[in-house]
């Protein structure tokens, strides 16, 4: 017999429990970052490797976009690509991440070259893109639900950078400030879609599994960085 589906409330609790337990806010590298224990080269190594994740976010969002069946849904989702790529040159999240790199002493040519991106980071990012390429719409959207937890982490990170890493120009933190509101909005929109679409238990289970996988992607990325620079 098929397992019974969860009510919307139960399903939301199940989804939220995943990142509560295994989101990367608990990763040792992030804990050391927040405690002010990272040396400049470790912070730079993280910024450089995280850029590989950042530049693939709009790629995976284009794959998600192609799975959405209506103009209404695509109009909502396309904004994520614009948030990262900008509507014109010199704008958007990728540009702001390049400025974060510059504020920390990394030139943009180095970041754009991809040199120094660790194999484990490449594989983790590839895993997320592949999930969004091959997964169902519910899985691809559910994987983004780590963003329900990202705004809290952004605020912790901004505080930590202001307190402990004053050698990074404050303007470089603009990326994180913008993500507090963008992440909250994106997380809310994605949650509404997943709750609406995943009505039977198989779809609900696959959404929870996709979100757990995404947590593993973020965790594996930091494992690679921690091992190299830590």
Give me the residues that bind ligand PQQ (CB under 6 A), please.
57, 93, 144, 146-147, 150, 153, 179, 218
Strand (E) or helix (H) holding 52: helix 40-65
Cα–Cα separations (whole angstroms), residue 103 to 19, 21, 100, 117, 157: 30, 33, 5, 19, 16
Cβ proximity of 67 and 73 under 8 Å:
no
Q: C-alpha angle 179/180/183, rounded to 5°? A: 65
How far is CA 51 from its chain centroid? 11
Q: Which is nearer to ligand PQQ, 58 or 198 (CB)?
A: 58
Q: Which is nearer to ligand PQQ, 65 or 198 (CB)?
A: 65
Shortest Å distance, C-beta 115 to ligand PQQ: 22
Shortest Å distance, C-beta 93 to ligand PQQ: 6
Q: Which is nearer to ligand PQQ, 5 or 129 (CB)?
A: 129
Q: Which is nearer to ligand PQQ, 57 or 198 (CB)?
A: 57
Cβ proximity of 43 and 113 under 8 Å:
no
Give the residue nearest to ligand PQQ (CB). 146
Shortest Å distance, C-beta 127 to ligand PQQ: 12
Shortest Å distance, C-beta 227 to ligand PQQ: 18
Shortest Å distance, C-beta 54 to ligand PQQ: 6
Q: Which is nearer to ligand PQQ, 85 or 147 (CB)?
A: 147
Q: Which residues contact 47 (CB under 8 A, 6 or more apart)?
A: 97, 100, 101, 104, 106, 111
């Amino acid at each position: 017999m098929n397992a019974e589906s969860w009510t919307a409330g139960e399903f939301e609790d199940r989804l939220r429990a995943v990142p509560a337990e295994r989101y990367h806010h608990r990763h040792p590298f992030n804990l050391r970052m927040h405690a002010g224990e990272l040396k400049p080269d470790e912070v730079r190594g993280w910024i450089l490797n995280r850029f590989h994740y950042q530049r693939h976010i709009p790629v995976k969002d284009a794959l998600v976009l192609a799975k959405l069946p209506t103009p209404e849904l695509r109009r909502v989702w396309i904004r994520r690509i614009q948030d990262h790529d900008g509507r014109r040159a010199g704008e958007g999240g990728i540009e702001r991440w390049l400025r974060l790199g510059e504020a920390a002493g990394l030139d943009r040519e180095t970041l754009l070259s991809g040199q120094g991106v660790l194999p484990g980071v490449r594989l983790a990012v590839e895993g997320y893109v592949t999930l969004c390429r091959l997964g169902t719409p519910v899985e691809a959207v559910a994987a983004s639900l780590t963003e329900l937890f990202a705004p809290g982490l952004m605020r912790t990170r901004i505080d930590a950078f202001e307190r402990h890493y004053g050698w990074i120009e404050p303007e470089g933190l603009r990326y994180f400030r913008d993500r507090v509101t963008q992440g909250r909005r994106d997380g809310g929109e994605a949650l509404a879609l997943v709750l609406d679409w995943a009505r039977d238990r198989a779809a609900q289970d696959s959404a929870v599994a996709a979100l757990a996988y995404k947590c593993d992607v973020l965790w594996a990325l930091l494992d690679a960085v921690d091992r190299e620079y830590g």
